[in-house]
């Protein structure tokens, strides 16, 4: 088992099957272009967990600073492919992210999770993450003011 950053176009593309399970609205081409743009403009990093040369889990994260929390590591995306669940891979990747936050001098660790992702919630609560807020959103459509 190996955890490594995906930085090249080939490495990013290889993460698509995992991320696509979490973000099914994305095509491979849109995913690769958006990840590259977010890496360049917003400090996004993509990491994958590989077992026997197959990517079984992936996560996207960024280190940011907020008035409310100080320096944090925010997880945008975290998924273990459905065919590989219940083997501890998601937990290993979450532990890696928590350690990365500590190494990066972060005061806090944050992620949002869809209300329907009960298995993920069990993992997060098992790692002592707290449900600390409600996340509100509104679709604005393209070009909305």
Domain assignments of the chain as residue spans, ordered by start: 2-126
pLDDT of residue 131: 75
Tens digit of each residue's pLDDT (9 = 90 or more) over 57-74: 999 999 999 999 999 999
Residue 54 φ then ψ, to 5°:
-120, 130
pLDDT, one tens digit per residue, over 15-61 is 999 999 999 999 999 999 999 999 999 999 999 999 999 999 999 99
Under 8 Å CB-to-CB from 85, ≥6 apart: which residues?
Answer: 119
Determine how many CB atoms are found less than 10 A away from the CB of residue 86.
9
Which residues lie closer than 8 Å to 27 by C-beta, 6 or more apart?
none
Q: How far apart are CA 22 and CA 130, in angstroms?
A: 22
Domain 2-126 has CATH 3.40.630.30: yes
The secondary structure of 62-92 as a DSSP string is EEEEETTTEEEEEEEEEEE-GGGTTSSHHHH
């Amino acid at each position: 088992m190996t955890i490594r950053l995906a930085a090249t176009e080939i490495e990013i593309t290889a993460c698509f099957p995992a991320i696509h399970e979490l973000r099914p609205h994305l095509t491979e081409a849109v995913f690769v272009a958006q990840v590259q743009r977010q890496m360049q403009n917003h400090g996004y990093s993509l990491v994958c967990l590989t077992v026997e040369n197959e990517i079984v889990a992936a996560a996207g994260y960024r280190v940011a600073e907020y008035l409310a929390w100080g320096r944090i590591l925010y997880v945008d995306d975290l998924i273990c492919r459905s065919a590989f669940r219940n083997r501890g891979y998601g937990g290993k990747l979450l532990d890696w992210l928590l350690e990365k936050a500590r190494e990066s001098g972060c005061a806090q660790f944050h992620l949002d999770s869809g209300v329907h992702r009960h298995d993920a919630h069990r993992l997060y609560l098992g790692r002592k993450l707290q449900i600390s807020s409600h996340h509100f959103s509104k679709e604005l459509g393209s070009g909305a003011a």
